[in-house]
């Protein structure tokens, strides 16, 4: 065997070994588990707490925007129906596969009836599931106050149980590789409040925006693969394919008070509230307008006041509803 043939042979062996080790690592680390505290949260049957949880779940917390089974179910929620949150809604993760929302009704076999209050609380606050695996960070309720976290779990316990088995993760090899090496638990920032008093201040608005409504999650550009933020906070530009109108791309507007490019810079408080009360006016929009429109006037005032305190960022969004072809043509 010549020298070149030997080099080729050993190069092939090394490459094959690396591939085998990588594939093995992907499958091994897909089952990686993490430790996280179990919050001291206990569901209650107090009617006021359950009502607060329902208000958040079908309103600013928009749990009902994802934990339903189909677009038809979503439209029922948008029309004001409080249908059980039995999960199954499918989200495509580009070339990585799919994830589906779990059943969060108290069914003992397929829902949260098999989980303790503390396991549910840990999943929401620390991003660690009951099996110890990291959860994709689509529910950034990590800094939800103890009182509101108790209210939501109490409401979820009060729903009628629905038997609906859901395969939450349906990932191909690329998705499993990303899950193995890039998805890690996300926990709270700083100390979590025991309770937060509702009022109309910017401070309470900050709590609603960051800890409940997750405005930052869509109105900040981010990497769709990992969820990492890549743009200035609330400056918009995040592109999402519409689940309501296939083939349509929604681009989030700039919410900062920049005088030239801010979407709501010149809105009065009354105009801001009126826009929410109008609900969905753009069919393809991924904004859960019909859930957010149920927010109280005081909550909307608080959100408005907080958004006015943001640092202005110049970021012009050409169109908030477009297509892949139009975006590609604009980039070329």
> What residues does each domain of the chain span?
47-181, 202-331
Q: How high is the mean pLDDT of the chain?
A: 90
Q: Cα 322 from chain centroid?
A: 22
The span from the CA of 66 to the CA of 146, in Å, is 23
Three-state DSSP at 169 gives strand
Three-state DSSP at 282 gives coil
Q: Among 22-31, 75-84, 178-187, name the most confident range.
A: 75-84
Residues 43 and 157 sit within 8 Å (Cβ to Cβ)? yes
The model's confidence at residue 179, banded by pLDDT at 50, 70 and 90, is: confident
Residues 125 and 141 sit within 8 Å (Cβ to Cβ)? yes
- The tens digit of pLDDT for each residue in 107-142 reads 999 999 999 999 999 999 999 999 999 998 888 899
Residues 123 and 129 sit within 8 Å (Cβ to Cβ)? yes
Q: Cα 136 from chain centroid?
A: 9
**Residues ≥6 apart with Cβ < 8 Å to 15:** none
Residue 6 pLDDT > 70: no
Tokens 């909550």 appear where?
A: 299
The span from the CA of 108 to the CA of 315, in Å, is 48
- The tens digit of pLDDT for each residue in 213-253 reads 999 999 999 887 667 789 999 999 999 888 888 889 999 99
In this structure, of 13-22, 44-53, 302-311, the range with the lowest mean pLDDT score is 13-22
The model's confidence at residue 10, banded by pLDDT at 50, 70 and 90, is: low
pLDDT at 15: 74
Quick one: the chain helix, strand, coil %, rounded to 5? Answer: 40, 10, 50
Query: 299 or 176: which carries more pLDDT confidence?
Result: 299
- The tens digit of pLDDT for each residue in 263-290 reads 999 999 999 999 999 998 988 888 999 9
For residues 74-87, give the mean pLDDT: 92
Tokens found for residue 70: 């189909």
Residues 77 and 279 sit within 8 Å (Cβ to Cβ)? no
pLDDT at 205: 98
pLDDT at 123: 96
Q: What is the number of other CB atoms lying within 10 angstroms of the CB of residue 262?
A: 24
Whole-number Cα distances in Å, 213 to 199, 237, 290, 303: 16, 18, 13, 10
Three-state DSSP at 58 gives coil
For residues 154-175, give the mean pLDDT: 93
């Amino acid at each position: 065997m010549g020298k070149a043939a030997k080099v080729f042979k050993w190069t092939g062996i090394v490459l094959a070994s690396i591939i085998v080790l990588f594939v093995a690592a992907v499958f091994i680390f897909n089952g990686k588990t993490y430790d996280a505290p179990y919050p001291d949260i206990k569901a209650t049957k107090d009617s006021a707490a359950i009502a607060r949880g329902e208000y958040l779940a079908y309103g600013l917390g928009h749990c009902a925007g994802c934990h339903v089974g189909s677009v038809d179910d979503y439209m029922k929620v948008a029309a004001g129906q409080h249908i059980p949150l039995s999960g199954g809604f499918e989200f495509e993760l580009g070339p990585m596969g799919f994830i589906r929302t779990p059943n969060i009704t108290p069914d003992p076999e397929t829902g949260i009836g098999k989980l303790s209050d503390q396991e549910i609380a840990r999943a929401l606050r620390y991003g660690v599931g009951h099996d110890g695996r990291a959860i994709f960070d689509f529910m950034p309720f990590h800094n939800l106050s103890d009182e509101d976290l108790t209210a939501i779990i109490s409401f979820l316990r009060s729903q009628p149980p629905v038997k609906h088995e859901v395969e939450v993760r349906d990932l191909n090899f690329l998705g499993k590789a990303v899950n193995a090496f890039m998805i890690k638990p996300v926990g709270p920032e700083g100390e979590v409040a025991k309770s937060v008093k509702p009022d109309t201040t910017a401070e309470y608005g900050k709590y609603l925006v960051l800890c409940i409504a997750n405005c930052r999650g869509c109105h900040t550009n981010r990497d769709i693969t990992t969820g990492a933020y890549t743009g200035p906070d609330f400056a918009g530009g995040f592109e999402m394919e519409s689940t309501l109108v296939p083939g349509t791309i929604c681009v989030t507007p700039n919410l900062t008070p920049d005088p030239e490019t801010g979407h709501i810079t010149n809105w009065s408080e009354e105009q801001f509230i009126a826009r929410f009360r109008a609900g969905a006016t753009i069919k393809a929009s991924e904004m859960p307008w019909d859930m957010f429109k149920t927010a109280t006037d005081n909550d909307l005032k608080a959100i408005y006041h907080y958004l006015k305190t943001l640092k202005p960022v110049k970021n012009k969004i050409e169109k908030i509803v477009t297509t892949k072809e139009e975006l590609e043509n604009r980039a070329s």
